[in-house]
Structure 1
Amino acid sequence: MHVITVLILLSACVIPATLGLYEDQIGKFDWIQRGIGNVVLAEFESSSSSAETGQARRLVVATEQNVLAMFNTKNREIAWRHVFESGSLGKIETLRVRDGDASVVTGNPPLLRVFDLHTAALVRETQMMMPFKFELEYGKRLVHESDGSITVAHLTEGAVELIRFSSTSGTKMAQQHTFEPWITNTTQCELSSTVLVCADASLGLLLSLPLNKLPTNAKDQGAQFTSVSLQSVGVTVPAPPPGEVVSDCPHIPAALTIHRVHGSHQHLVLKGSSSVLLYCSAGEVTVIPGGAAGSLSTALSLTSDGVLYTVVQDRQAVRISGFSLSSGSELVSRSLSVELPAADGEAVPAVRHLSVEQYSRRGDGEIAVRAFLVMEDHSVHLLAAPGLVWSREEALASILVVEALDLPVSASAVSMHDHSLHTSGIVGSLVQRVRAQSSAVLTWLAELLEGSLSGSGTSSSSESQAVLNRDPFNQHKLLIVATASGKLFALDNWTARVVWSSYQPRVRALPTGKMLLYLQRTVAHFPHPAQMALVAMQQGNCNAVVYTFNPLTGEPMTGGLQLLPYRVSQASMLHHNDDQFVKPVMVVDTELGVHIFPPSCEASAVLPHKDVLYVTMRNTTHLSGYSLRPSKPGALSLTPVWSSYFPPGVITGVFPKRSGDRLHSSGRVMADRSVLYKYNNPNLAVVLAQGHDNVNKNVLSVYLLDLVSGAVVDWISHRFVSGPVHVVHSENWVVYTYHNDKARRHEIHSLELFEGPTQANATAFSSLASLPQAPIVERQAYILPHGVQAASHTITEKSITNKFLLLALQTGGIAQIARWLVDPRRPLSSAGPREEGLMPYAPEVPIPPTEIISYNQTLPRVTGIFTGSTGLESTCIVFVYGLDLFFSRVFPSKMFDVLKDDFDYNLISAVLIGLVVAAIVTRKFAQRKALNQLWK
């Protein structure tokens, strides 16, 4: 017994202390929300058998983000999901659900994968015998899976290649390559089980190629396209609006579209000014009578008993009507009418995809209908006879930009901190303070009594009210996000609840794939409301769009959605505000025209500071700097200052410092107690250029550029290096990650800049003033154990705490790495500098499991990490977005300003009471002793 006790004590001494998360803290200060992305294909489980056994409980979907998932139709939860490779390697082309399996065709070259619906296990996969196609020759690919075969069509400029594979062995069964000069990138084509159908708006023709005539050997003659005019099938091409459509815009909606009908391998819908339903059989295309009436939508679903379901929308009302193909009459008993939730006065987005399931009700045996809708704003809805069953906001899986908003203080806090009380004298201030405190206590008691009487009935209202109030430490915020679909959300960072949402159908991402979101006015300027501005691109002509709104309510403000007649070249928010506390947003168009939003800020916030305002313009290989110095009232203009070329290849990114980045300490104490001053240049930016050198090697060049003077502070070139490159730029240091192709490993490179032992200007930095010497650049590279999806750094209110790097690893974890681990001044030998906290150099950067802030949660496809400061200097909020959403808090220097959760209040209370009692007793003894001394 004594031996066991000794072993337990020794084990407790050997096990080191951990900084990881306690099990009872999981989900206390963090949350995770799973997503799947923009749904493009959907199938109910076993539609054929559901009419006999009741409604299916599972719904299988495939998304634009290359995710295959299954929903539980009872509670909208994700039963399982598979995240495939990104890009063309994992793109899901087809989806079939039958006999308890889900089969998809993915990848480049095509790969057939079959999964078990119940276990999500991979049952079988078959590789199609086809070479890999690069992006330049990839073109547009159409895939159709039928019983025993898979047909693939590759359409490039002026050519089409058709291949039929065996779905069991992957071998080629038939192949044909034909040259067709009429095929362009605007030609609309679709593949049915028997025919390849193309529609060309410029020629006004509907062309079809029968698949049953594909040659099986070199001697056979290939199939030929046959054509009919679009007018003969009852379709006219709508004329584009004058001045609206630009040919080089990628977001132009096609004037003529052709889509598959869900649930059918032989029906297509052709939509122009009107819509027609096409039937493909035996290599021929025929028009179903009645389809040219123009009432058909592109979202159609056909069931096995010949019932065609179509969607009709009227603002919030959505009606799904069923028509018999044989008789053409409407089946009223199989129709659904539902009111979808939407903001006041707003219409619901258009339906993009419709999946319908028919099943037999267990009570009376009648045929009932359920419908799964995918909207243009990427939201999904399940409808049934009573109404809306559930909804999911899958637009949150495509977030492009995030901004945090401080919440306003409560009314009681405002009254207690009212500065007007100081002018009413001591007695008046005391009376007002007592009134405010009493009002706060009465309000709290009323809320407590109301909650106890109504139970959980007022939980939602109290939660909604709590969203609009700031907590004592300013950790409760609203996360304002903009998504790729043009939908904006306000998320509660404590509960992940959607406070409000607003859909803007004309808003799309800029050519860089991002949107720009600026907080022009905070909530600190009462009675002025908070104000935000979103800068993006219009759908249809790629011109600029600026949307101004109130981030607390989501309502548009003065100006609202502004559709501008020019394109965005650059946009930024200025640091100076006008008399209404609004910081203007400056937009520079492609013709170097300068525009201010709101325009009223031009006279008070722009012109007084025009001599110190500089703009940097970027193209593929050059950066140019401009000044606003020649600007006049009502005529802002730019004059060129500098221009630089950055070899090799193409400029892939420009990374300035984050707005509001603070430097707490301007120097670094050396081992000999001298000071090495930091090079704190607020105008410094990191420029990345990627390309090839003379021997065709991958080259990454990193430039440190002053955006005001155009001077290159330093640069470094890496060979045999490929992306993706993630850059973190803060204070006087730069950290970036890349993949070393030669060593076949992931590396992280660290740079730190210093002025030297003397500081040129201790008050303010000027890019136009010459330094006594060039900045000292320390650099070092380290090895990472995993690849990186996204990178960021912690930020606090005063930047006093240590900086941590936040890396989204390809393994799915979010790692925090202390910056001193990648310090470029770490000595290579014992003879190096011996500063406090400077460890000897080690090539590997360890990432222990205790430094994974997402603990056992796996986050695939992370696109960004947002960090924000709080009222506590020790605390930094972290919001990770991508396919999933994850929120947490980190403490780079521990919680030095907050008591711990396990703080012993009883002990400290006993100690304080004891000290007070001891002070009183000793005071009595001291008084008695002094009295006795006086009597003597």
Structure 2
Amino acid sequence: MAIMSFIFVFFFFSSLQPILSLYEDQVGLMDWHQQYIGKVKQAVFHTHKTGRKRVVASTEQNIIATLDLRRGEIFWRHVLGPNDVVDGIDIALGKYVITLSSGGSILRAWNLPDGQMVWESSLHGPKHSKPLLLTRNLIIEKDNVLIVFSNGRLNAVSCIDGEVLWKKDFEEESLEVQQVIQPPGSGFIYVVGFAASSQFEMYKINAKNGELLKHESTAFSGRFTGEVSLVSSETVVALDSTGSILLTISFHNGKISSQQTPVSNLLEDSPGLAVIIHPSVTGIFAIKTDAATIFIRVIGEGKLEVVEKTNHETVVSDALSISEGQQAFALVQHAGSSIHLTVKPAHDWDSNLLKESIKMDQQRGFVHKVFINNYIRTDRSHGFRALIVMEDHSLLLLQQGAIVWSREDGLASIIDVTTSELPVEKAGVSVAKVELNLFEWLKGHVLKLKGTLMLATPEDIAAIQHMRLKSSEKSKMTLLKQWLACSNHMFYYYYYYLDVMM
């Protein structure tokens, strides 16, 4: 009997060392996991009547992914290499995700439903240049064609197998190509840019074979700065190097004409350096100064007209085609704890297709980007949904004045994580609601030990069976934990339950 008592005491004190372990049915299984994609920089919607509604996104973390438009869940994602930066994405033929990456050197097609790579093409050229991707429906001998400018070379690439059908080099050392444009319904392509920062260059290229049809240039007394804004298929707007002169340049039928407008003529009470922001909206562009954002319409022969000036922080989407010859675009403005979402037709600034106000958590910061998509309501009118990227890199889908879903994609940039137990009964935090107290925990260990040593009474056996029943129902003892994660931009605070075995 003394030996049995010694063994009992030995095991009892040994059991006072807390041991965390898993249930047998949890061995080798992941309790939970989350996947993130990072800060979205480009997004394309795929909302055909057949198939699942998706949004395809590329991020600053070199990730491409498709998300379920209804819930925000990831259908598939691919993490590209650290130097394989995504330069452009689009959807071709309704079934391929097209990505241009690595400074325009790699063009890939991915199967939209499952993310399998269909083909990959390497695009090299005589010099480094700004990569540009054009996926307008161009057909050459029954083959749908992608137009890519990269590494100083214009390429026509088959959408079916990635074969390069023709290529045209632009080897002039000082030439900086800014836009590649295919006017709707035409058989040619415009390539426009600057040479030596003071000369505007226009090349007209045969879309069927890459033959040069026309080359025109014109010099300006000042120098260009930044990028150009495309306001029509044959008109661009740029700023001079001082940020004080707006240049409206047209190249209708390959003939260049220009108009210079002092920014002060448009913004008498808004001093400061002006910067063009780039919504691709027909006939409209925007400039931003330290004091305001100004929306300007191009009318007549390069003449400019201010249509609105706002002092609020404003983000503008690219244009969305909603019907034959009609475009719409979105404006997002901050006002206190809300954001105002407005969708306007490109041809009529004074009317609104949508105007909503959505309550927003101020801790998310400002809106950085907005992408819009339309759908047809039961009354045949146009409805709109907006995908917005916040300052904390979170991603939200807005529809009918509400947040449909949100994703904390800033967690894709986590650089450190730590966990710790929450304090007991402090500042209103009641851990006792989710934990068994120490006495019950020790009592459970003693009962199990007595059962193992065959010292349990009938009452103890009944108690052990009751404990096992609770265990089988997955009513497990838990410890409330807090999780503090630090990303490149934000701190995140979460709490969760860590499963332990009694």
Matched, 1:350 2:366: yes
* 2:487 match: 483
* 2:349 match: 328
Within 1, Cα distance between the matches of 2:422 and 2:44?
43
Within 2, Cα distance between the matches of 1:132 and 1:79?
37
The verdict on how the C-alpha distance between 1:170 and 1:397 changes in structure 2, with shifts beyond 3 A counting, is farther
Cα distance, 1:223 vs structure 2:
7.9
Do 2:62 and 2:80's aligned partners in 1 also have CA atoms closer than 8 Å? Answer: yes
Within 2, Cα distance between the matches of 1:26 and 1:236?
67
* 2:333 match: 312
* 1:111 match: 106
1:205 aligned residue (216, 222, 245): 245
Do 1:189 and 1:196's aligned partners in 2 also have CA atoms closer than 8 Å? Answer: no
Within 2, Cα distance between the matches of 1:493 and 1:330?
48
More strand, by proportion: 2
Matched, 1:86 2:86: no
Letter in 1 for 2:71: N
Cα distance, 1:261 vs structure 2:
2.0
Matched, 1:274 2:312: no
Q: Deviations over 1:468-502 (max 9, x none)?
A: xx94xxxx6433223223x211133657xxxxxxx
Cα distance, 1:153 vs structure 2:
7.7
Do 1:296 and 1:310's aligned partners in 2 also have CA atoms closer than 8 Å? Answer: no
Cα distance, 1:396 vs structure 2:
0.7
The verdict on how the C-alpha distance between 1:115 and 1:355 changes in structure 2, with shifts beyond 3 A counting, is same
The verdict on how the C-alpha distance between 1:143 and 1:26 changes in structure 2, with shifts beyond 3 A counting, is same
The residue matched to 1:368 in structure 2 has which SS? strand
**Structure label with greater radius of gyration:** 1
Do 2:368 and 2:389's aligned partners in 1 also have CA atoms closer than 8 Å? Answer: yes
Within 2, Cα distance between the matches of 1:61 and 1:410?
44
Cα distance, 1:389 vs structure 2:
0.6
* 1:933 match: none
The verdict on how the C-alpha distance between 1:170 and 1:188 changes in structure 2, with shifts beyond 3 A counting, is farther
Cα distance, 1:191 vs structure 2:
5.8
Cα distance, 1:174 vs structure 2:
6.0
Do 2:42 and 2:58's aligned partners in 1 also have CA atoms closer than 8 Å? Answer: yes
Q: Deviations over 1:333-392 (max 9, x none)?
A: x3332212x2xxx46522121112221124x43322211111121111111115111000
Matched, 1:95 2:84: no
* 2:387 match: 372
Do 1:111 and 1:128's aligned partners in 2 also have CA atoms closer than 8 Å? Answer: yes
Cα distance, 1:81 vs structure 2:
1.3
* 1:299 match: 316
Within 2, Cα distance between the matches of 1:380 and 1:62?
12
* 2:472 match: none
Q: Deviations over 1:141-178 (max 9, x none)?
A: 35242435646488xxxxxxx65332442743363522
Letter in 2 for 1:483: S
Please show how residues 638-653 of structure 1 align to structure 2 within 5 Å. none
Within 2, Cα distance between the matches of 1:204 and 1:108?
31
Q: Deviations over 1:181-227 (max 9, x none)?
A: 7779xx4314646566543563523346668899xxxxxxx989975
* 2:155 match: 165
Within 2, Cα distance between the matches of 1:113 and 1:75?
27
The verdict on how the C-alpha distance between 1:38 and 1:231 changes in structure 2, with shifts beyond 3 A counting, is same
The verdict on how the C-alpha distance between 1:86 and 1:404 changes in structure 2, with shifts beyond 3 A counting, is same
The verdict on how the C-alpha distance between 1:436 and 1:275 changes in structure 2, with shifts beyond 3 A counting, is closer
Letter in 1 for 2:329: L
User: TM-score, structure 1 length as denominator?
Assistant: 0.35
* 1:33 match: 34
Q: Which has the higher contact order (CA 8 A, sep 6+)?
A: 2
The verdict on how the C-alpha distance between 1:143 and 1:123 changes in structure 2, with shifts beyond 3 A counting, is same
Within 1, Cα distance between the matches of 2:250 and 2:157?
20
Within 1, Cα distance between the matches of 2:283 and 2:147?
15
Please show how residues 252-267 of structure 1 align to structure 2 within 5 Å. 256-261=274-279, 264=281
The verdict on how the C-alpha distance between 1:402 and 1:93 changes in structure 2, with shifts beyond 3 A counting, is same
Do 1:109 and 1:128's aligned partners in 2 also have CA atoms closer than 8 Å? Answer: yes
Letter in 1 for 2:406: S
The residue matched to 1:298 in structure 2 has which SS? strand
Matched, 1:360 2:376: yes
Letter in 1 for 2:62: N
The residue matched to 1:32 in structure 2 has which SS? coil
Output the aligned Cα RMSD: 4.5
Q: Deviations over 1:554-578 (max 9, x none)?
A: xxxxxxxxxxxxxxxxxxxxxxxxx
The residue matched to 2:357 in structure 1 has which SS? strand
The verdict on how the C-alpha distance between 1:66 and 1:114 changes in structure 2, with shifts beyond 3 A counting, is same
Q: Deviations over 1:841-893 (max 9, x none)?
A: xxxxxxxxxxxxxxxxxxxxxxxxxxxxxxxxxxxxxxxxxxxxxxxx9xxxx
The verdict on how the C-alpha distance between 1:394 and 1:233 changes in structure 2, with shifts beyond 3 A counting, is same
Cα distance, 1:229 vs structure 2:
2.8
Cα distance, 1:76 vs structure 2:
1.1
Within 2, Cα distance between the matches of 1:338 and 1:477?
33
Please show how residues 136-285 of structure 1 align to structure 2 within 5 Å. 141=130, 143-147=132-136, 148=138, 150=147, 152=149, 163-168=153-158, 169=164, 171-173=166-168, 175=170, 176=172, 177=175, 178-180=195-197, 187-190=225-228, 192=230, 197-200=237-240, 202-207=242-247, 227-234=260-267, 238-239=271-272, 256-261=274-279, 264=281, 268-272=285-289, 273-277=291-295
User: TM-score, structure 2 length as denominator?
Assistant: 0.61
